[in-house]
Amino acid sequence: MEARVPIPIAFEREAESDILFQRARVRLTISFAARAISLLLVMLWPACSGAQQIEAVFETSFARIHSYSQHKELVKATGESLEFARQSLGNPAGFPPRKIEVYLYESEQQMAEGLMAILDYPRKDAEAVAKAGFSPFTGNTLHINSRAEKWGRLFWHVVVHEYAHGMAEERYGPVLPHSARWVYEGLGEFEANRTLRRKFEAFEEAYATSRFKVVFKALLFFKLFQFKNILAQDDWFANIANSRERWDIQYAQAYTAVDYLITNYGFDNFAALLTEVKNGRSVEEAMQKIFGLSPLRFELRYYAFMLLRGLFGFYVHYTLALAALGFLLSLTVLLLVKRRRSL
């Protein structure tokens, strides 16, 4: 039998190390190959299966919704809420001019890309709208981020709000969103709240109350806007970009101001205001002609209305507490004066 030549320990360990290295390299190669195949499948799967392709998945008599197939509930809610808006707000001649195209997106980035591709939005504007999650009614289209699926009843409110925008712009032209923004947004909020009270009464009443409370608190802390500073579209979007608080206040202020005008002067007079703006008058000029209100007079009346509604409508307990405190202070002063005179 042939004698085995002993291998020095150092060489033996080196051989074992080399074998281990080779095995590790094989495992690493397999791992990279598996990842590459997975990535390739992820890239090819949408094209092969249609699972991620945008396609028309739901249609009403006047709307076509394009969406990823996994968002069937959101697609359904979109179609139903648009149909509700049409039935509730009416279907004036010529509106919508053709089927509304609705696009539901997976992410903010995808929505921004869609806005740039379909509506030629500048990137900055597209990203701002995508961040909000819901586009204005533009070019007979609506663009929605899929996270709106979690909004619940507020989603219906936003859809009706935007549908009302489309109707207003069709009737009164693009001057409203560009030069009468608070009137335009306030009307959208008013119509959404008015029509949806028939479907979600408790929710819409709570929503309206929350809007009035936002304005009342902003009034107390001197945070309300002068109406002339929220007329231009650029100023409106600048407030949205500035902070969530300013965003919330301006929408609440617009809604409560339109509610004040319609409640106190009637919808026909408010419609006449919109017609005057359409015909070239500024909002201030139209308000002076239709309501007999100068900008200052309108703002003072609106502030007084909001103050009284807050004190005697939403915060009666605080009003009573303040009245009681005022009474006690007055009584204390009277007693001190009387005591001083008696000395």
Q: How far apart are CA 341 and CA 173, in angstroms?
A: 71
pLDDT tens per residue, range 29-79: 555 555 555 444 434 434 443 334 556 567 777 888 888 657 788 888 888
The mean pLDDT value of the chain amounts to 81
Q: What is the pLDDT of residue 31?
A: 56
Chain centroid offset of residue 178 CA: 18
Q: What is the pLDDT of residue 170?
A: 84
Give the Å distances, CA to CA, from 193 to 91, 165, 187: 18, 14, 10
pTM, 2 dp: 0.74
Chain centroid offset of residue 257 CA: 19
329: burial class by Cβ within 10 Å (0-12, 13-18, 19+)?
Answer: exposed
Q: What is the pLDDT of residue 13?
A: 42
Q: What is the pLDDT of residue 202?
A: 93
Angle formed at CA 200 by CA 236 and CA 86, multiple of 5 degrees = 70
Q: What is the pLDDT of residue 140?
A: 83
Low-confidence ranges of the chain (pLDDT < 70): 1-57, 68-69, 91-97, 314-323, 343
Q: How far apart are CA 37 and CA 40, in angstroms?
A: 5
